[in-house]
Amino acid sequence: MTDCPCGSGRAADACCGPYLAGTAHAPTAEALMRSRYSAFATGNIDYLESTLLPETRADFDRAQIAEWAQNSEWTGLEVRSVDAGGETDSEGVVEFVARFRMQGKDYVHHETGRFARRDDRWWYVDGVMGQRPRSAPKVGRNEPCPCGSGKKYKKCCGAAA
């Protein structure tokens, strides 16, 4: 019994193994992301390509991905946040950090990935490096400053510098 590369603490055959073998589909966006990490760790390039949303596969560089996967020692996965992506959702976002070693040097791949569920199957859509941008509500000039000072925004944090 081998531990799953995704770091779930479960055996591979009870975690990502069935997805990588093509006998089951990941039920959530997080499960798909974890299985894609496991695919990198095991060099399963076919799985990486087959889990891309079909209309995004045009720029999939199989040779480059294979080189990255095969020349790296995958050393850990940390899931930082999950937004939606459940079994009944149509979209999900997973922020994660994948650690790997290449040519004796340690690297970190920090990504916020977008996932879509179509025809009862999750797909990887795309991702941005680093943390997902946070949006803050726009504060009007005459509204109370969100810093809690009690002043109007225009007289506090919104004052022209």
pLDDT in tens, 8-17: 999 999 999 9
Q: Please state the pTM of the whole predicted model.
A: 0.80
Poorest-confidence range of 17-31, 52-66, 92-106, 140-154? 140-154
Query: How buried is residue 129: exposed, middle or buried, by Cβ count under 10 Å (0-12/13-18/19+)?
Result: exposed
Pairwise CA distance, residues 115 & 127, whole Å:
9
The pLDDT assigned to 150 comes to: 72
Query: How buried is residue 148: exposed, middle or buried, by Cβ count under 10 Å (0-12/13-18/19+)?
Result: exposed
pLDDT in tens, 68-124: 988 999 999 999 999 999 999 999 999 999 999 999 999 999 999 999 999 999 999
Pairwise CA distance, residues 92 & 14, whole Å:
23
Place of tokens 């040779």: 63
Place of tokens 């087959």: 50
Q: Residue 145: what are its φ and ψ, rounded to 5°?
A: -65, 135
